[in-house]
Amino acid sequence: MELRQLRTFEAVLTHRTVTDAANALGLAPSSVSEQIRALEASLGVPLFHRGPKGMRPTEAGERMRGWARRLLRQAEEARREVTGEQPVLRLGALESIAAAHVPGVLARLAERRPGLRVEVRSDAARDQLLDAVAAGDLEAALLLDAGEDVGGLGFTPPPAPLDFVDVEPVPLALVAAPDHPLARAPRLAAGDLRGERLLVNVPACSFWMAGERLLGSAVERVRAGSVTVMASWAEQGLGVALLPEFAVRDRLAAGTLARLAFDAPDLGLRLVWRADREAVPGMREILYAASA
């Protein structure tokens, strides 16, 4: 086995196709296929089921997943120790919360460990961040969730030993234009919103999922786009929007949006990491900084 083969193996696990793995690694697809075949030949077992929808790990491939990750991690730790290089902690965050919450985490990290290097990757897709944490490409990720387990909001996490801590609550606000008929109601229930147009992004969006749990089929869903777009459309009277309070606080204060009297439970700002990677240099510091 060679380290480059293990890196290629992990890329195929993460991206599920030879072409996507090749793009991620900067290699030709033929080179990726050749390295996987060579790794399988050295082990004497097939690691993937090959099909029209991509590559799926065999039972041997699943067993190899953990070994590949450990061997690559040990090789990287050895390189850093020998060269004296400072460890780099890679933190992912959803784009919707990166601007509002990541700066505080970074400030606490800098105070606790001034020499620790941190790279932040923001992404609009939660699945991409969780896959990167599961694959060891990120040490941890900040995202929005609810419930007792990762994915309690309604999404399916990757098959990895994920652990988490809820950093702080993220209040939600159901907002509409100030002249919306429901803006004057003293209290609203889901049934009062029947027939309303709920501005949404995509089904994987945390606020879409929160709306599904709270409103079900009572409302018509209208695709708008990002948090900013949803807030702007709501201002123009094109519908109501369920959004994080921090994203619409200025508009509420300015009176361009009204908060409807609807009780929406908070989401949790959740830091997620692999439970078997807590010993990674700097990992305990990021847990401390995030939860402080």
Give the start-to-end residue ranges of the domains of the chain. 3-82, 86-169+268-291, 172-265
Mean pLDDT of 65-88: 78
Q: Does the structural domain 172-265 have CATH classification 3.40.190.10?
A: yes
**Homologous superfamily of 86-169+268-291:** Periplasmic binding protein-like II (3.40.190.10)
What own/partner pairs with CB < 8 Å and gap ≥ 24 does 84-88 have?
86/115, 86/116, 86/117, 87/116, 87/117, 87/280, 87/281, 87/282, 88/117, 88/118, 88/119
What own/partner pairs with CB < 8 Å and gap ≥ 24 does 147-151 have?
150/270, 150/272
**Domain 86-169+268-291 matches domain 172-265 at the CATH topology level:** yes
* Domain 3-82 fold: Arc Repressor Mutant, subunit A (1.10.10)
Mean pLDDT of 5-23: 89
Q: Find the DSSP H helices in 121-226.
A: 126-135, 206-215
How much is the pLDDT for 25? 86
d(CA 108, CA 290): 8
How much is the pLDDT for 23? 87
pLDDT in tens, 168-222: 899 999 999 999 999 999 999 999 999 999 999 989 899 999 999 999 888 999 9
d(CA 24, CA 18): 10
How much is the pLDDT for 77? 74
d(CA 22, CA 202): 28
How much is the pLDDT for 246? 92
How much is the pLDDT for 292? 61
Residue 85: pLDDT above 70? no
Mean pLDDT of 253-276: 94
